[in-house]
Amino acid sequence: MCLCRSNSFRKGCPNYGKKPGGPPRNLFDEDYDLSEPLYLIATDFDLTDHVKRIRRAHPSWTEKAIYNPRYWQATARKKHNEEVLEFLTRFP
């Protein structure tokens, strides 16, 4: 996926093979010991609701601008971090 061309990156992802944590990544079982208990916390984020609110507030914005992670990612991360902390307080 990261080597696919797009409008933004004609040669694919500029961080491919250069940035720590960037692509290519190890397979999941190469980074985590699957013989130990593993917990996954998946957080719901209603992107549809967010898009509706952005469209009402900024009717002249393009679709690309409306869906830009810059405008919703911080909210989603905050919600996820709250859920992680809640989990950790229940299961120390």
pLDDT under 70 in the chain at which residues? 1-6, 21-22, 92
Instruction: Give CA–CA dist 76/4, Å, rounded.
Output: 26
Q: What is the pTM of this model?
A: 0.64
**pLDDT at site 10:** 75
**pLDDT at site 35:** 94
Contact 22, 16 (CB under 8 A): yes
29 and 70 share one domain: no
13 and 29 share one domain: yes
15 and 30 share one domain: yes
26 and 46 share one domain: no
Q: Containing domain of residue 31, as a range?
A: 1-36
- Quote the number of domains for the chain: 2
46 and 29 share one domain: no
Torsion angle of C-alpha atoms 47, 48, 51, 57, degrees rounded to 10: -120
Instruction: Give CA–CA dist 21/32, Å, rounded.
Output: 15
44 and 86 share one domain: yes
61 and 76 share one domain: yes
